[in-house]
Amino acid sequence: MIPPLPKEELAELVTANHILSRLGVVDAFGHVSLRDPRHAHHFWMSRRVAPGLVGPEDVLPFDGDSNPLVADPPPVYAERFIHGEIYRRSPAVMSVVHSHAPPIIPFGAVPSVPLRPVFHMAGFLITNVPVFEIRDHAGTASDMLVRDRKLGAALADTLGDMPVVLMRGHGATIVGCSVRQAVFRAVYTISNATLQSEALRLGPPNYLTPEEARNAGAGNDKHIDRAWALWACGDNESLVAKPSSHKKLPRSAKQ
């Protein structure tokens, strides 16, 4: 049994679930996890429940093989291997988001049109987003889900060192070096997909160059907390770790 997740990290993960649900990155399906900051081979994720309904009591630890680390575990997400295998392959990844959001689906389904950064807020995409083809690993009769370590490892290999991997006919998986960065990237991956589809209807888009994208992404990374403060607004006050600028001013300072 590993020690409980520190209260602040637990609050961050619960809030991430609620933000992703409110902003349409996930619905009844999809999930977000956090690598244990003290035990790099373990990660934390909710039991099998819609992310918008996740509370602190739903979050449980998993080992490096994506097995729940509690006695008599509740039902857990079938696709937890996405998380475990990405953490195994990529030591810098601290958080993983898995989404089935509709705007990203066309870019996994149409091989001739890769998802690319069409606006600065998605600069982190840098260039063409890789696409995971489950048929290459599970044949033509799978149910499309990443249900075991083998498929999770194949997905992690396709992701490589990129921030996002599309999954043909299924969705996308997005990673970050913090929960906040993974959530930020997930939100703007969906926005970019929506905008790119709009642009493609007008004509051939003029995409960001890799250099423009890299610079924009680096700049945006400095302001992730600003977005988080807005998106977390309205979440349970006792759960949300707000930046210092959002703390109530002492009475004397209000005058």
203: Cβ–Cβ under 8 A, 6 or more apart, which residues?
Answer: none
Minimum separation from the CB atom of position 103 to Zn ion (A): 15
DSSP calls for 37-101? SS-TT-EEEE-SS-GGG--GGGEEEE-TTS-B-SSSPPP--TTHHHHHHHHHH-TT--EEEEE--
Distance (Å, rounded) from C-alpha 232 to C-alpha 159? Answer: 28
Closest CA to 95 of 8, 224, 223, 9: 9
Q: Which is nearer to Zn ion, 13 or 97 (CB)?
A: 97
Residue in 192, 130, 190, 133 with CA at minimum distance from that of residue 164: 130
CB of 100 to Zn ion, least distance (A): 6
Shortest distance, CB of residue 61 to Zn ion, whole angstroms? Answer: 21
Instruction: Specify the residue, 77 or 207, whose C-beta has the smaller distance to Zn ion.
Output: 77
Order of all β-strands in the sheet with 131-132: 59-62, 43-46, 31-35, 95-99, 171-176, 164-167, 131-132
- Rounded to a whole number of angstroms, the minimum distance from the CB of residue 58 to Zn ion is 18
CB count in 10 Å sphere of residue 211? 9
Q: How far is the CB of 170 from Zn ion (least distance, A)?
A: 6
Active site residue 8: no
- Please give the residue whose beta carbon sits closest to Zn ion in the complex: 79
* CB of 36 or CB of 79, closer to Zn ion: 79
Give the residue with the Cβ less far from Zn ion, 12 or 79: 79
Catalytic annotation, pick one of 8, 9, 57, 79: 79
Question: What residue has token string 């807005």?
Answer: 230
> For binding to Zn ion (CB under 5 A), which residues are involved?
79
79 or 235, CB closer to Zn ion? Answer: 79
Give me the active site residues, please.
79
